[in-house]
Amino acid sequence: MVDIGLFTQIVINGLLLGGIYVTIGVGFSLAFGVLEVVDFAVGEYVMVGAFMGAVLAPLFGAEGIFAIPIVLVVFFALGALIQPLIHHVTTGDRPHPLLMGLVFTFGLATFLRGSVLTIFGPNNRDVPSSLLTGGVAVPGVGTFPVVRTVTAVFGVTALVVFMYYLYRTRGGMAIRAIAEDRTNARLMGININRYQSIAYGAYAALTGSAGVFIGMTFTANPGMGLQYTAFAFFMVVLAGMGYLPGVILAGIVLGLTQSFTAVYISGNLVLLVLFAIIYLVLLVSPAGILGKGEWAT
């Protein structure tokens, strides 16, 4: 017999987890749409963000959440510096630009993981926060862990701000024009490099800050990046390649799938279940679960 209390708590945890995964997925989807590159470094940005939170938290009285503004600024600057390098290897007369982008970001991911291992070693690091401990019990429903609730609110807020910027500002219109047709955007006088740098910087900033929240929710570990790279791929494919609104549904499905699989099957089989879902989605709806993204070919 199903324990209703446990079932409800799993749903709550899954929905809240989905909120922070939305933060990773929206940035990853934006980078794919604007730069046309599948970024293997996304998981390592999460990992480096978590370690930055662990390092900066003691400076703010062991409150990791106060490290978020610094992480946002540092990662935005880092992304703005890295984007021209990605643009350089994926444009011009070079053959196989998609493959070049994959190789570059794979090398970047390896460099970031190796650097963190060299500096901090292989052990876990905590991102402390006494403000986000405990939970809020709602009678008849379940307990909402504070850190996961704040994390989910951050993720959804980040998505709303991004959507507003993309669909209500001139900068957002320029980014969407680049994602639609880079050649026509250039003919219209749009500064391609500038807006690609903004988009990649915003993606890196969101992903790094998500790493701080994930470090507060779980822990920071040098090997955690691969898991979040897989999660980002899952969300983008499920949402539909380049379709940002679908990331919300994809994040929720990811959070619920992870929670239910970990409790009722095994935490070690989460990735296997996720890739089985991706396989089925690609068979049935290659344009994503809502059918509004680019076809995955």
Condensed to tens digits (0 to 9), the pLDDT of residues 22-53 reads 888 877 877 777 777 778 899 999 999 999 99
Point out the least confidently predicted range of 101-105, 201-205, 228-232, 292-296. Answer: 292-296
pLDDT at 221: 93
What token pair was written down for 227?
């898991």
Give CA angle at 185 (182, 189), nearest 5°.
135
* Whether pLDDT at 280 is above 60: yes
- Average pLDDT, integer, range 127-150: 84
pLDDT band at 80 (very low <50, low <70, confident <90, very high): very high
pLDDT at 188: 84
Q: How does DSSP assign 200-232, residue by residue?
A: HHHHHHHHHHHHHHHHHHS-B-TT-HHHHHHHH
- Average pLDDT, integer, range 224-232: 89
Sign of CA dihedral 82, 85, 90, 91: positive
Kindly state the percentage of the chain with pLDDT values over 90.
24
* Whether pLDDT at 235 is above 90: no
Q: How does DSSP assign 25-80, residue by residue?
A: HHHHHHHHHHH----TTHHHHHHHHHHHHHHHGGGGTSBGGGGHHHHHHHHHHHHH
What token pair was written down for 117?
């291992």
C-alpha closest to that of 83 among 26, 152, 37: 37
pLDDT at 10: 87
pLDDT at 165: 85
* Whether pLDDT at 290 is above 80: no
Q: How does DSSP assign 233-286, residue by residue?
A: HHHHHHH-BT-TTHHHHHHHHHHHHHHHHHHHT-GGGHHHHHHHHHHHHHHH-T
Pairing status of strand 135-138 against strand 142-145: antiparallel
* Whether pLDDT at 128 is above 60: yes
Please, are residues 65 and 243 in contact by the beta-carbon 8 Å criterion? no
Residue type, 100: M
Phi–psi pair at 290, nearest 5 degrees = -95, -5
- Mean of pLDDT over the chain: 85
Q: What is the rounded CA–CA span in Å between residue 235 and residue 258?
A: 13
Q: What is the rounded CA–CA span in Å between residue 126 and residue 121?
A: 14
- Average pLDDT, integer, range 177-183: 79
CA 18 to each of CA 13, 223, 255: distance values in angstroms, whole numbers, following the listed order: 9, 21, 4
Sign of CA dihedral 219, 225, 231, 232: positive
* Whether pLDDT at 122 is above 60: yes
The pTM of the whole model exceeds 0.85: yes
C-alpha closest to that of 228 among 40, 29, 2, 9: 40
Q: What is the rounded CA–CA span in Å between residue 230 and residue 97?
A: 22
C-alpha closest to that of 132 among 228, 70, 74, 68: 68
Q: What is the rounded CA–CA span in Å between residue 70 and residue 68?
A: 5
CA 292 from chain center: how many Å? 20
